[in-house]
Amino acid sequence: MFNRIVLVVVVVPVAIVLIALAVANRATATFTLDPFNPGNPGLTLQLPLFVMLFLALGAGLLMGSFATWWNQGRYRKEARSKAREVQLLMQEISQRKASAAQASPAQPAPASNLPQPYA
């Protein structure tokens, strides 16, 4: 239910704005990587402005995602080390249980200590 609310309240208006932006900015714009020689055809792109805006938005999302992933690396490393530690402790517990079972096999309780059934 929450996903549908988010879809209706956030995603649909954003999509409408992006479609309007794309329709309003269909004119071709020039993007050059060489500021000293803007006419250099090897370093110049001519694309509709909305394509450039969407590419910039996508590049920003990718860079932000990478920066977040990079900054959270220490937490992932800590979680991996704790998972390894838990795994080693579980192995040690199972080994101790196995050695304890081999050292003293379980013996049944004497019959005199068992509760008597009602007659």
Render pLDDT for 7-23 as a digit per residue (tens, 0 to 9): 888 888 988 988 888 88
Provide the domain count of the chain: 1
pTM: 0.58
- Residue 67 near residue 59 (C-beta atoms within 8 A): no
- Residue 49 near residue 67 (C-beta atoms within 8 A): no
Render pLDDT for 11-70 as a digit per residue (tens, 0 to 9): 889 889 888 888 888 888 888 888 888 778 888 888 998 898 889 999 999 999 999 999
Is 44 within the bounds of a domain?
A: yes
Residues 6+ apart with CB under 8 A from 34: 40, 43, 44
Is 94 within the bounds of a domain?
A: no
Is 85 within the bounds of a domain?
A: no
Is 40 within the bounds of a domain?
A: yes
Domain that holds residue 40: 6-73
